[in-house]
Amino acid sequence: YWRLLEFHGFSGASGTYRNIIVRCKSEQKSVYIDGFAMMPEKPSIRKRLSIQQADSPISVLMLGIDSISRLNLIRAMPETRTYLKLNKWIEMKGYNKIGDNTFPNLMGILTGLDSSGISKTCVSDTLNYCPFIWNDFQNNGYITVFAEDAPKISTFNYLREGFEERPTDYYLRPFILESEKVLPTTKQSALPSCLGFRHEGEYVLDYALELTNRFNSTPYFGFFWTFSHNNIKDSSSMDDKVVEYLRKLELSKSVIFFFSDHGMRFGPTRMSPLGHYEERLPFMFIHLPTVVKQKFPNLERNVRSNENQLTSPYDIYMTLQTILNLSTGRKVFTRMSELPVLFEPITYNRGCDDIAIGHHWCMCHDFLTYDPNQNLAKYLANLTIFEINYFISSYKDGIFTELCKELSLRSVDQFKANENLELYLVTFTTDPNGSQFQVTIHYSPGSVPRIALKEHISRLNIYKFDAFCVNDLEIFIRILLL
C-alpha cells in the first residue's frame, strides 16, 4: 500500500501520490512534521465511472464514533447534539445493536449478515470476499472510500486478517499506520489521541472532507469510523470539532448517517443501573439533503415517523439498498423481506424477533428484579460457568487448559426475569480475578436451560490483563472472557 519517497529542498509533487509526510528542518533541527492523506485522480476509476454512471445518484456518507450510547452523546457531546437537533437531523431513538462489539454491528450495516451468515459467506481468511455494500455502490458508478483510525484495534484487523487487497477506491489505513510510526503520538485511555498536530480522528474526518470536495460532482459512498473506546469521557474532547465537521459535510448534499455501534460495554458505566440500556442503545442520526427531499417529498415524513420505532443495523443496510435502487432507477437489490425500510413507515408493534435482534441484546423485554441469593439464580449462574469451562477445556483438544484456570462462582450480583418467568438475565462474578458476566437464559421449570455462549453472554469488566496469554479469535468472539 505504501512507498516512501524522500524529497530534499523544493520539489514539485506528482498528483498521483496518495499520502504525504512533510518534515521541515531549520539548521538541522526538525521544526514541523505532519501527514496529509489525499485522493488523487485515477484514470482507471474515471474510466469506470464514465461507463457505469448512476442515473440519479444520491451520495452517502457514513460517519461513526465507537462506543457512544444515545444517552452519552447527550452527556459527553452536548454541542454536537444541540447542532443536530437545531438543524433537524432525524434521530432514531429506538436504534438497537445486534451484537457484542464493533465488528458484528458494522457488518450488519455493511453486509446485512449476522455472525453465522458472515461465517458461511466470507469463506476466505481475508474479508475481501464478503459482500460489502460498498462493492454494489462501486459497481453502479460510485467512488468508494473507507477510513478509520486506531489501526491496532481496527474493526476488520483486530484478531482478523483484514483486507488482502484495498477494499475501496480510497483506503486510509496505510496512511494511519505509517503516520503512527513517524509522527509524534500521544495516548488517551491507552489509544492514540493526538497524531502530529491533530487528533487522530481528525485525519479520518479530513478524509471525508477531501472526498466531498474533490468529488462533489461524482456520486460517492464513504464510510468513516473513529474510536472513542475505553473511557466514557473521551468523546468530549472532540465535541466542538465534530460540530465543525458536520457543518461542512452537511453542505455536500449527501445523505449522512451519523451513528455509533454500541455504548460502553465494560467498566463502571456498564455496571451502573442504566448500563444495560446504554450498552445496547447507541445513537443514530440521519440527514436528508434538500435535493433529496425535493425529489422524494414523502421521504422525510416517513423517516421522521420512525424516530421512536425499534430499528437496527439491518434497517440501515436495507435503507442503503433502497438508496442505490433510487439512484439507479432500477432494482439493483430485490427486497430481502417484506419488512419496511427507514424510508417507509414502520409499524408500532415491531419486535426484536421481527428484525433478528437476539434476546440478549433486545431492549423490548420488561425485566423484573428478584433476589440474587435464591437457589435458581445460583443454579443458572453455575450452569453458565460449567458451559464456559467445558468450552475452554474441549476447544482445540484442550490447548488452553494449562493457560486458563477453571472459573467458579463468587457471587450472583443481579437476577432478573421477564413477567412470564421464561427469560432470565443473570449478572455474576467469578473466581479467579473477579471476572464479571451477564447471561441471558431461556428457562422454565422442567425444561433444559438454553445457553449459547456466542450470543447470550457478555463480559462486563476489562479482560485485557486476564487474556494476554491467549490470542485466538474464536475464544474471544465466543465468550470474551479469558
CB atoms within 10 A of CB 339: 16
Among residues 345, 300, 341, the alpha carbon closest in space to that of 322 is found at: 341
Mean pLDDT in residue range 269-291 = 92
Query: What residues pair up with 423 in beta bridges, in sequence order?
Result: 442
DSSP per residue over 369-423, as a string?
Answer: EE-TTSHHHHHHHHHHHHHHHHHHHHGGGGTTTTTSPPPEEEEEEEEEEETTS-E
pLDDT in the model for residue 322: 92
- Phi-psi region at 163: left, alpha or beta (left = phi > 0; alpha = psi -120 to 50): beta
Is the pTM value of this prediction over 0.95?
Answer: no
- Phi-psi region at 61: left, alpha or beta (left = phi > 0; alpha = psi -120 to 50): beta
Give the pLDDT band of residue 290 (cuts 50, 70, 90). very high
Tens digit of each residue's pLDDT (9 = 90 or more) over 53-64: 666 789 999 999
pLDDT in the model for residue 338: 56
Judged against a pLDDT cut of 90, whether residue 309 lies above it is answered with yes
Give the pLDDT band of residue 481 (cuts 50, 70, 90). very low
Judged against a pLDDT cut of 60, whether residue 337 lies above it is answered with no
CB 325 within 8 A of CB 333: yes
Mean pLDDT in residue range 251-268 = 92
Q: Residue 437, SS3?
A: strand
As given in the structure block, the three cell numbers for residue 293 are 427531499
Strands 143-148 and 170-171: parallel
Residue pointed to by grid coordinates 440501515 = 316
Helix (H) / strand (E) element for 222: namely: strand 220-226
Judged against a pLDDT cut of 90, whether residue 125 lies above it is answered with no
Average pLDDT in the chain: 87
Mean pLDDT in residue range 204-233 = 88
- Minimum mean pLDDT range among 30-44, 75-89, 202-216: 30-44
Give the pLDDT band of residue 227 (cuts 50, 70, 90). confident
pLDDT in the model for residue 145: 98
233 vs 184, residue with greater confidence: 184
477 vs 133, residue with greater confidence: 133
pLDDT in the model for residue 3: 54
Dist CA 311 CA 303 (whole Å): 11
CB 179 within 8 A of CB 21: yes
pLDDT in the model for residue 480: 46
Give the pLDDT band of residue 189 (cuts 50, 70, 90). low
pLDDT in the model for residue 288: 97
DSSP per residue over 102-127, as a string?
Answer: HHHHHHHHHH---HHHHHHH--SSSS
pLDDT in the model for residue 418: 93
pLDDT in the model for residue 482: 33
465 vs 443, residue with greater confidence: 443
Mean pLDDT in residue range 433-448 = 87
pLDDT in the model for residue 469: 64
Does 151 sit behind a cis peptide bond, omega within 30 degrees of 0 on the bond before it? no
Tens digit of each residue's pLDDT (9 = 90 or more) over 360-404: 999 999 999 999 999 999 999 999 999 888 888 887 777 777 778
193 vs 68, residue with greater confidence: 68
Judged against a pLDDT cut of 60, whether residue 18 lies above it is answered with yes
pLDDT in the model for residue 399: 75
CB 134 within 8 A of CB 219: no
Judged against a pLDDT cut of 60, whether residue 454 lies above it is answered with no
Judged against a pLDDT cut of 60, whether residue 429 lies above it is answered with yes
CB 270 within 8 A of CB 262: no
Give the pLDDT band of residue 226 (cuts 50, 70, 90). very high
Tens digit of each residue's pLDDT (9 = 90 or more) over 59-88: 999 999 999 999 999 999 999 999 999 999
Give the pLDDT band of residue 41 (cuts 50, 70, 90). confident
- Show the domains of the chain with their CATH numbers: 41-355 (3.40.720.10), 367-480 (3.10.450)
